[in-house]
Structure 1
Amino acid sequence: MNTDREPAVYLSGIAVELGRRVPIAELDDPSVAAELENLHAGGLRHCRVAGQDVVELAAAGARRTLAAAGLTAVDAVVHATDSPYRETATKDGWAVLAGAGVPTAPTVVVGGSASANLAAALRVATGLLTAERLDTVLLVSADRVTGAGRYQPVGVTVLSDGAAACVVGARPYGPAYRVLGVSTAIKADAVEVSNSLKAAQLVKLGVTEARERLLRTLPEPDRGFRHLITGNYSLATRTFLARLCGTDPAAVHTPAVAELGHSYSADLLHGLESLRERGLVEEGERVLVLATSPRSWSMIALEYAGG
């Protein structure tokens, strides 16, 4: 436990665990087949289909992160999912701990924001670091499509199975991003509509509110962001979101839309790690992450800390 440190929070050891790549044209899924032309036009070509359940995906992603960060233990774990539980939230949380090799770490299971669960989980992890003066919180987000089809009309995309994890720490564990701020807007009473104009108006309200909240608390808010990470949605959706965020659409970094499909929160962590791996982000540069769901919109402001 760290009892004397500056209130800084870093994301490091980012890793993903994804299902096998399947061309969406080969899926036995009527919902995708009916929208195949639109999906292809938006840049979607493949999705990921996992044989493991959510607990196994989460545990595998967590193990990858622990290895990347050089850790064998953490002070706590936050497990985020929007998928049905194998048993219960508690038992699934315990199974993730055991599968990840950290069976004695206190755990919290988080949901409530669908594809935007990364932001919800980060808020909880940051709160644990601050309130309990911890050094390391393992954040893992995992989801797997069950039951309904993989086509998602919000964002015009196709859902994938996968997990992503990172260490939320009081210091970096290898290459890292420093968290500058998080904001969330939610419209739980919003009525989902088929009218594209009304749907766009709802998204505009949510993203604008989240952006205004972030800028009110962000140090040096006029510095702007060189990169924007969004979910793996259609090109038209990503362009629309970029404009709402006040960034150039060319700043959107979603390098694997065609290969990954939309793997819930894993899209966002994968995008951040891709920036680093490809050498596209320099120390001190700011990155904006936009985590969206049909009724919630969150922004995470980060600064690349190098390493």
Structure 2
Amino acid sequence: MNTDARPVVHLSGIAVEWGGRVPIAALDDPSVAAELENLHAGGLRHCRVAAQDVVELATAAARGSLAAAGLTSVDAVVHATDSPYRETATKDGWALLAGAGVPAAPGVAVGGSASANLAAALRVATGLLTAERLDTVLLVSADRITGGPRYQPVGVTVLSDGAASCLIGRRPYGPGYRVLGSSTVVRADAVEVSNSLKAANLVKVGVTEALRRLNGQLPDPGRGFRHLITGNYSLATRTFLSRLCGIELSAVHTPEVAEVGHGFSADLLSGLASLREQGPAGPGDRVLVLATSPRSWSLIALEHTDG
């Protein structure tokens, strides 16, 4: 692959909208109650429960990104969700565009990767920039649990309602990250098993292959990463994932595990925002984002920039 031909793409203007903070012990959810001891042991204490529907969450986050960047228009919008639509993908997309104040922007709906939807949405946004010679794409990821269990055995965590958005552009809108590359491994034919060793092996194979593919894209893969962003999973899960990526647990940045729970892809953008705003990331630091679902594993390589 000719890495010199890769377009320069920036991720900036991150905004997050969470539901209300609720102790997981207070949830009326038998799935969480049955695993409460394990969840507490893994560091989970609260989750977020939204009164707004998924489109309203997405709209609030989108407005935040546009305001942070001082923009009133974008060239396109990519909307990622793994939640049931309010009406249809098309009508929800129209409502998001109108609510965010960009009714003339072409919208694209993305899904199918659960908590790894950020990686899929980024691929689409980057493709739009390249194929259509656009300047700026608004990426929005939003999810909300509607009646189903909040306990997620994969990762040993509790699902939360929330949304996060960012701008994917040829130039940054303030401090953020330069996109260095991404890779995705999918095993749609994988059978989800209760045997923890078999499940762990499936994840190991997926993450290891995704890392190999990503390193093949980077001009200097030996440089390594100073920070790792994962979903807000249990401590044991984060430890396992960091080892697969060859990164020390101390470099894993997930400060919102106890207060937020696992908000699908919003976790990842929220983690990137706090890494930039609260430290310890500095200009030039490489950041690895690991986006996972039960049957897919994606890695995104970023470089922190001052804008």
The answer to whether the 8 A contact 1:138-1:168 is kept is yes
Partner of 1:244: 244
In the alignment, what sits opposite 2:274? 274
**CA offset at residue 6 of structure 1?**
8.3
Partner of 1:195: 195
Q: Secondary structure of the equivalent of 2:222?
A: helix
Instruction: Number of aligned residue pairs: give it.
Output: 303
CA distance in 1, matches of 2:57, 2:291: 21
Q: Kindly tell me: are residues 247 and 6 of structure 1, through their superposed partners in 2, closer, same or farther at Cα, counting changes over 3 Å?
A: closer
1:279 Cα deviation (Å)?
Answer: 2.8
- Report the counterpart of residue 166 of structure 2 in structure 1: 166
Whether the aligned pair in 2 keeps the contact of 1:139 and 1:167 (CA below 8 Å) is yes
Q: Is the 8 A contact 2:80 2:141 kept in 1?
A: yes
Aligned to 1:12, the other structure's residue is in SS state strand
Return the offset for 1:250.
1.1
Q: Secondary structure of 2:184's partner?
A: strand
Determine the structure 2 residue equivalent to 1:25.
Answer: 25
Structure-1 residue corresponding to 2:98: 98
- Counterpart-to-counterpart distance in 1, 2:6 and 2:284: 18
Aligned mates of 1:156, 1:202 — CA distance in 2 = 16
Give yes or no for contact 1:232–1:254 (8 Å, CA) kept in 2.
yes
Q: How many Å apart are 1:266 and its aligned residue? A: 0.6
Distance 2:6 2:294 in 1: 36
* Stretch deviating more after TM superposition (66-75 or 37-46): 66-75
Distance 2:133 2:182 in 1: 19
Contact 1:180–1:219 at 8 Å: present in 2 too?
A: no
Q: What displacement does 1:106 show?
A: 0.2
Specify the alignment match of 1:60 in structure 2: 60
Q: Partner residue of 2:50?
A: 50
**Residue 147 (structure 1) shift:** 2.2
**Partner Cα separation in structure 2 for residue 114 and residue 69 of structure 1:** 28
- Alignment partners' CA distance in 2, 1:101 and 1:162: 20
Secondary structure of the corresponding residue to residue 171 of structure 1: coil
Task: Give the whole-Å Cα distance in 2 for the aligned partners of 1:240 and 1:6.
Answer: 32
Residue deviations 1:100-144 (CA, integer Å, cap 9, x gap): 110010000000100000000000000000011111000000000
Equivalences for residues 167-246 of structure 1 within 5 A:
167-246=167-246
- The residue type equivalent to 1:162 in the other structure is G
Structure 2 Cα separation of the partners of residues 88 and 56 of structure 1? 15
Q: In the alignment, residue 55 of structure 2 is paired with which amino acid?
A: V
Q: 1:255 is aligned with what amino acid?
A: P
Whole-Å Cα distance in 2 between the matches of residues 186 and 234 of structure 1? Answer: 23
| 2:107 alignment counterpart | 107
Give distance in 2, aligned partners of 1:7 and 1:224. Answer: 21
**1:74 equivalent in alignment to 2:86:** no
Aligned-residue offset at 1:244: 0.4
Shift in Å, 1:148 = 1.4
Aligned-partner residue type, residue 210 of structure 2: A
Task: Identify unmatched segments of 5+ residues in structure 2.
Answer: none
Deviations 1:199-251 (A, max 9, x none): 00100011011001000111210000000000000000000000001111111
State the TM-score, normalized to the length of structure 2: 0.97
CA distance in 2 between partners of 1:147 and 1:20 (Å):
16
**In the alignment, is residue 39 of structure 1 matched against residue 44 of structure 2?**
no
Amino acid at match of 2:161: D
Give the TM-score normalised by structure 1: 0.97
Give the secondary-structure state (helix, strand or coil) at the position aligned to 1:217: coil
